[in-house]
Amino acid sequence: MSSGERPLQDVVFLTVAEVAAVMRVSKMTVYRLVHSGELPAIRVGRSFRVPEKEVHDYLKESYVRLQSA
């Protein structure tokens, strides 16, 4: 295990619906992010689970600072 990884039992997985609620977007938007590879996820049967940390990392990386005129 590398220095930044947590033990698997400590990872919190979110459903697509939970991710959509956190990000305040539609479930379809979350599915698009997962299918494009922008948001890492694992497949469990026919559904996806997204590590909570990945959601927060995605939001941090996507943060846009607008410059004042």
Going from the first residue of the chain to its last (69 residues), give the mean pLDDT of each consecutive group of 10, the final group possibly shorter. Answer: 67 96 97 97 96 95 73
- Amino acid identity for residue 31 in this structure: Y
Domain locations in the chain as residue ranges: 16-61
pLDDT in the model for residue 4: 62
- Residue 63 confidence (pLDDT): 83
Given a contact cutoff of 8 angstroms between Cβ atoms, the answer to whether 27 and 64 are in contact is no
According to DSSP H, which parts of the chain are helical? 16-23, 27-36, 52-62
How high is the pLDDT of residue 10?
85
